[in-house]
Amino acid sequence: MPELLLNVENVTAGYAQDIDVLRDVSLQVHAGKVSGLIGLNGAGKSTVVKTICGFLSPKAGQVSFMGKPISGVAPHQLIDLGICCIPQESSLFPYLTVEENLLLPLQGRRKKFGGVIAQRFEEVLVAFPAVREKRRAQAGDLSGGQQKQVEFAKAWLQQPRMCLIDEPSIGLSPIMAEEVFSWIEKFTQSGMGILLIDHNVRRVVRMSDHVQVLSLGRITAAGKKEAFQGDLHEQVKQWLGLNF
């Protein structure tokens, strides 16, 4: 059984004291595996990510990483635990260069990364040739697809144990989206655990080892990928109004 990295147990969370966006949500992410989270807009998928990352505190339940609670950990300290997040919106600083954006998360962490930063940076430039070409450009001058490349390159540079990926293909051309999904496969092949959220439900189901369906803040269906190819798959298809 692959190592359990993330364990979300019966979490209830929301943005107001008396309004719960998530209700009794449980999910797991294992090393080298993709855990897919699907649901309609407004179901609470991005709220799950914000709660895991510490932007929201659970009202009930617990979020643990590698057996230790992380609900009180500040978002900027997650990198020290081996957690990285690629958000739906760009997290790049527009007036910094691509290279500066790539290296920024590692600044002040020389004790943890110092011996391998230069080596990893060169590996990133090889793995992401488009990023190498734009390394001196300001991030704000890049196209949406190019910025997404930098986001993935930045995550690869950090080499986290787990990566949370929220809507990576939204707004991208089909060719660029395929490239994004190939990077996710590369991440899992390296041993990273992935929590994947994307509007392309077909692709999420196909790529995931385990799938959860979120509806109105609750997990209403969950199982291995194979289960979604049978009756459970049919239920999700009808619920989402899709033809797989």
pLDDT tens by residue, 115-157: 667 788 888 888 898 899 999 999 999 999 999 999 999 999 8
Residue 187 domain-assigned (yes or no): no
Element (H, E) at 23: strand 22-30
Counted domains in the chain: 2
- For residues 204 and 240, membership in a common domain is answered with yes
Mean pLDDT of the region 98-113: 79
Q: Which residue range is the domain that position 45 belongs to?
A: 1-82+162-173+192-244
- For residues 75 and 167, membership in a common domain is answered with yes
Give the per-residue pLDDT at 181.
94
Q: Alpha carbon of 204 to those of 35, 119, 175, 213, 244: distances in Å?
A: 9, 32, 17, 11, 12
* Three-state secondary structure call for residue 200: coil
Name the average pLDDT for the chain: 88
Summarised one tens digit per residue, pLDDT across range 30-53 is 999 999 999 888 889 999 999 999
Residue 4 domain-assigned (yes or no): yes
Residue 179 domain-assigned (yes or no): no
- For residues 217 and 115, membership in a common domain is answered with no
Give the per-residue pLDDT at 118.
77
Give the CA angle between residues 198, 199, 200 to the nearest 5°: 90
Residue 74 has pLDDT above 70, yes or no: yes
% of the chain with per-residue pLDDT over 90: 59
Residue 113 has pLDDT above 80, yes or no: no
- For residues 67 and 167, membership in a common domain is answered with yes
The residues with which 166 forms a beta bridge, in sequence order, are 197
- For residues 108 and 228, membership in a common domain is answered with no
> What is the gyration radius of the CA atoms in the chain, in angstroms?
18
- For residues 129 and 166, membership in a common domain is answered with no
Residue 232 has pLDDT above 60, yes or no: no
Distance between first and last Cα of the chain:
30
Residue 59 has pLDDT above 80, yes or no: yes
- For residues 73 and 145, membership in a common domain is answered with no
Q: Identify the top-confidence range among 87-91, 162-166, 197-201, 205-209.
A: 162-166
- For residues 197 and 77, membership in a common domain is answered with yes
- For residues 152 and 214, membership in a common domain is answered with no
Residue 231 has pLDDT above 70, yes or no: no
- For residues 119 and 76, membership in a common domain is answered with no
- For residues 62 and 169, membership in a common domain is answered with yes
Residue 17 has pLDDT above 80, yes or no: no
Element (H, E) at 30: strand 22-30
Residue 182 domain-assigned (yes or no): no
Give the per-residue pLDDT at 233.
59
Check if the beta carbon of residue 35 is closer than 8 Å to that of residue 27.
yes
| Pick from 181, 38, 166: nearest CA to 91 | 166
Residue 108 has pLDDT above 70, yes or no: no
